[in-house]
Structure 1
Amino acid sequence: MELTQARDIVYQAGLDLAGEGLVARTWGNISLRLDSRSFLITPSGRRYETLKPSELVVVTIEDLSHEGSIKPSSEKGMHAEIYALRPDINAVVHTHQRQASTVAAARKEVTGLSEAHARLLGESVRCAAYALPGTKKLVKAAGAALDGERKAALLANHGAVCVGGTMEEAFRVAQALEGACESFIAEAFARRYGTRAHTMEEMHACYLKTLP
């Protein structure tokens, strides 16, 4: 993909994800494959609302070297691993979206997906084993959780990663994952208490106690 076009796509994705509440402040990171050797990723510690397309960083998949003086996201290794393992994937979004992050904190696999969610996400959404952010352990865990044709994975205590053949697909996956996790939490609450929660706050407050 031509670099200027790629910069515009990643820049707009950051604004769209922030607008949907799927990322906030400087959390999360977004990337787009440029070719078989490299990808474009958001820089470390920059807010999506003030980020400039020129500040996005080109990173080499094989050795994680990068162009220019701006430091790329500390999760660049996770993105590189996904691109190396999945030639069908051209966009990767790491989010801290609320519902998915709640399930990730419980380290549960999301099951019982609706037909609509399953079409985008697959039969279930795995939760990658816990690892510290930016580590090789997290890189390998995320890659393993996204094997086959899976498009989303939870990262234990660390949000989620959503992927797609295009940035538009990765964005739809993130939206679908949030809906699937909200339904999963609601079902867990109902099983425990025999009723539905009145508010999301009530549901989140009880969630970690509801799952076996």
Structure 2
Amino acid sequence: MRPLSEATAPGAVILAAGLGRRLGGRPKAALHIGPLSLLERLAQALREAGVAQPRVVLGPYRETLLPLALRAGLDPLLHERDEPSLIDSQRLAVQAHRRLLPAQPLWLLLGDLTALGAEDLQRLREAWARRSPGIEALVPTVAGQRGHPVLLSAAALRAVDEQLPGQGVRHWLAAHPGRVWFLDVPGPGPVQDLDTEAALQALRRDCHPRFVGWP
């Protein structure tokens, strides 16, 4: 088993550059549950799990999200594109991480995860420490549903970065199934997100009487 240490702690990048079209064009990571936005809640969970300096990819809505990112102590990575795709965000995150922390693994996670906590992250970090030789990526699953964060080794990150333009993390995972560990974990943290109005209403019911919305 590989020991847990700060030297091998993963870096982390939150991907928060989506347009939120299915929620009426709103910045999903700015949603507040009580006094904290999703961005701040994720930053807090990452730090509690050992990530010294989490980062966040921002694109549209940066006038809303950048102040929240700075308040959460996140290092912002700003897109030049007005409507970046998820793959664009992944590639920006991977390149920044490889430049700054080239020897460390990386957690990539979406900015609209509403229930992910430090306990979920610590479970994944402990699993990574005992992974089998040759495993270069860990993907949490809940009852067969893929979740986040995806944890990628330095070797996997280099391979993702060297892919053709337009190819992202899923392309590399699909091409290297023998190097990926799909780990079944308890939910809902890794899979509960904010894609639709129905998900928003369910979250409000679950969190009542706390405020859930955009201030």
Q: Same fold (TM over 0.5)?
A: no
Report the TM-score when normalising by structure 1: 0.32
Q: Which structure has the highest helix share of the two?
A: 1
